[in-house]
Amino acid sequence: MYAVLIEVDVNGVDREQGLTALREHIVPAIKAMPGFESGTWLPGNADGKGLSLTLWDTEANANVMADRFGIGSNPTVSAMVARCEVREVAATA
């Protein structure tokens, strides 16, 4: 199993509009991708950084996710991916 950790700069994004876009568009699109197993999305903090952690069945499928939502991409208007890492999962609980 592999994880994709993404940090998104959401400074300047209206919180409610951003959460609506996340729930209605981004999450469903990611869930539909091959190999998706689970995901957790955290809204922007005081520094304007949101996080997501998604789990994938293979490294190849995790890399497809990272390519689609990699550094510099814009998942919504005014939001930009600042960090994207693919890592092997050591354990889950």
**Would residue 93 count as lying in a domain?**
no
Backbone angles phi, psi at 26, to 5 degrees: -70, -55
DSSP state of 26: I
Closest CA to 77 of 27, 31, 8: 8
**Would residue 69 count as lying in a domain?**
yes
**Alpha-carbon dihedral 69, 72, 73, 78, rounded to 10 degrees:** 130
Residue 18's CB: how many other CB atoms inside 10 A? 22
**For the chain, which ranges sit under pLDDT 50?**
none
**Would residue 13 count as lying in a domain?**
yes
Angstrom CA distances, 27 to 52, 84, 91, stand at 10, 16, 24
Number of domains in the chain: 1
What is the per-residue pLDDT for 76?
78
What is the per-residue pLDDT for 74?
85
Domain containing residue 28: CATH number? 3.30.70.100
Which residues constitute the domain of residue 41? 2-88
Location of structure tokens 């950084």: 49
